[in-house]
Structure 1
């Protein structure tokens, strides 16, 4: 018997590897020996973790600007001339320790990380889009890369979505990236920048945008898009994935005429092909997947839904373990999940409490686990 543990990270609490280890320890003893762990990501938190243990991988640490402008150390992985990095390492929700400030949060650190990768010799950057605390349309990252975003007085605009209101001029000519660079944007979403399906309407709430604030955030993003696209003489706002990471996808797409190539790719597909996940599932008897919160969005290009589809193709049973579950067992079954185990019935009072209670709750939940 072989059990494959193929989970996404549990946002803000456990990495993919950590939660898999907790699940393995909670299973009946005779099953633990049959477990194999495969770290997964769809481009969000934990994306670079997949590649850290690869032979020849170099882990670089560089100082960057965090979402609310404090200095932190971010990591990225270099494999030959390819550098693999994640937005959440420099602009992630988990980096904001106090109240969320989507009006001020910046992607400046992402641009700094990209420049650091070029400085160590990377000719291709793979940037995982996801888990950001930002709604700045990638403006901060562009500023870090040398693009001038100026107000009427020809001063750089302030960081964050709020700063976009002052934007008067966009000038790409000082861009500090080599034209030979290739940029792959690994995204877990297909949302455009604006509108009912856009960055603010769909993802603003999780970044701290209140419902009555949405029109203002949306208007500032639209203002930025209007000026940036006019400077580029090309539109990118409706490209699938432009709304990823608070519009960072859009900001990076604006660089396409200045670089060798800029493409949005499936983050899950990039990872799953790299680790040969299809073969691993084919050789397993049962697959356990999961993420922090299981709902219908889990089946829109994300790890859980993608793993479930592969299991269906190979006719392998797929079980999901989630911190919280907003689906009924029947809903889950209809989406390819044999059974769902929810660690908590309602949201714990804090992430710290969730982290502390998870091991014991898993032990209780899985003590009688049977295939």
Structure 2
């Protein structure tokens, strides 16, 4: 008997479709095959790229804001707001996707734009700001974000340091007296799915800087620079050095997690669980016969805590059958079943050419949806 009530909750297909576009394509296929079905669309994200867009339509309004990109060029971004809760997304403000021409800048890229978005949200009346980390271009320990919020980073001569992670090696003092006082009354929540510390073999530089263009020499410079920065922040805040450096999530997004936790007094929450809560996913599941989730690549990285894994876990908890649609999968049927997927359907099942899968993703997803309907 065809499923009567279906919840479609997919993440984006990177480089092809947004989360909402994926959901709409699958839903169209289900309804074409079974017009009597009740289909509810719930776009999802995990705090990274696409988070703010996924919240549109879940009771959140999108607010346009112009901020500094990772190399300080102006970019048009958005944050999401519902009541006095705002969600800002690093990827949309100063992430890798915002690098002009895609040119990596591991030593000079800045998180300033994220701080500008936080400030805009506070200006708009936000009392709680959720910061979605992921897709960052910078290795600056969140220094750029703090500067946008009023901090000053000075060298031994009392001059302002240039932006980026590289110059932090010359940091002698961080002046926090100019931080916007409203931040003391603002709850800062970091949506993050990694538990890396700031420094060391599992730290921000060792784990994430290579994908931002840092070679071996750059990594040595950045590790030393962040160590100087961390010691200076500890002295300025009076916080225990080891506690703030080793805090789970401090190494997220090139160390932005460190600044949010150590200076802004934020707390870390798992991105997937937090975002599913914000979109009311548990309520959406009530009475459902089937859950459809997925993303571009359903692989071992998905299993480590990405958005579709959160959906599968929620469906299993509610005892609802769940299936996965994806561009491609590298998981065995046993691994998929263990993750909670009763079935996995990939676009490559219908179209072996990966390029055509990307180009015709919506049409192929509708076809898969029709088979599920």
With the shorter chain as reference, the TM-score category is 0.7 to 0.9
Which of 229, 248, 252 matches 2:256?
248
Give CA-to-partner distance per residue, 1:55-87, whole Å, 9 cap, x none. 5x5532222100121101221133232222211
Query: In structure 2, which of residues 217, 229, 232 is the aligned counterpart of residue 224 of structure 1?
Result: 229
Q: Within the alignment, does 1:166 sit opposite 2:174 as a pair?
A: no
1:145 aligns to 2:149 (yes or no) = yes
- Deviation at 1:90? 0.7
d(CA) in 2 for partners of 1:212, 1:25: 51
| Corresponding residue number in structure 1 for 2:187 | 182
1-side partners of 2:210 and 2:285: how far apart?
35
Q: Which residue of 1 aligns with 2:79?
A: 76
SS at match of 1:152: coil
Summarize the Cα distance change of 1:192–1:255 in structure 2 as closer, same or farther, 3 Å threshold: same
1:13-38 Cα offsets, whole Å, 9 max, x none, are: 43211121233345582247443210
Who is 2:337 aligned against? 333
- Show structure 1 runs of 5+ residues with no match: none
Query: Hey, what does 1:199 align to over in structure 2?
Result: 204
Out of 2, 5, 9, the position equivalent to 1:2 is 5
Superposition pairs for residues 36-185 of structure 1, below 5 Å?
A: 36-54=40-58, 57-96=60-99, 97-178=101-182, 179-185=184-190
Equivalent pairs, count: 362
Is the counterpart of residue 239 in structure 1 residue 241 in structure 2?
no
Q: Structure 1 length normalisation: TM-score?
A: 0.87
Report the counterpart of residue 18 of structure 1 in structure 2.
Answer: 21
Describe the superposition over 1:290-316 as per-residue Cα deviations: whole angstroms up to 9, x where unpaired: 123333232333212111111222222
Given that 1:6 and 1:288 are in contact with CA atoms closer than 8 Å, whether structure 2 keeps it comes out as yes
- State the SS of the aligned residue for 1:5: strand
Within the candidate set 340, 346, 362, 1:359 is matched to 362
**CA drift at 1:42:** 1.8
Change (3 A) 1:145 1:362: same
**Which has the larger share of helix?**
2
Taking a change above 3 Å as real, the CA distance of residues 29 and 304 of structure 1, as seen in their structure-2 partners, is same
Kindly report the root-mean-square deviation, in angstroms, between the aligned alpha carbons of the 2 structures.
Answer: 2.8
Partners of 2:6 and 2:155 in 1: CA distance? 57
Write out per-residue CA displacement over residues 252-274 of structure 1, whole angstroms, 9 at most, x where no aligned residue: 11224xxxx52222222222223
Paired residue secondary structure (1:278)? helix
Contact 1:145 1:177 in 2 (8 A): no
Q: Name the SS for the 2:102 alignment partner.
A: coil
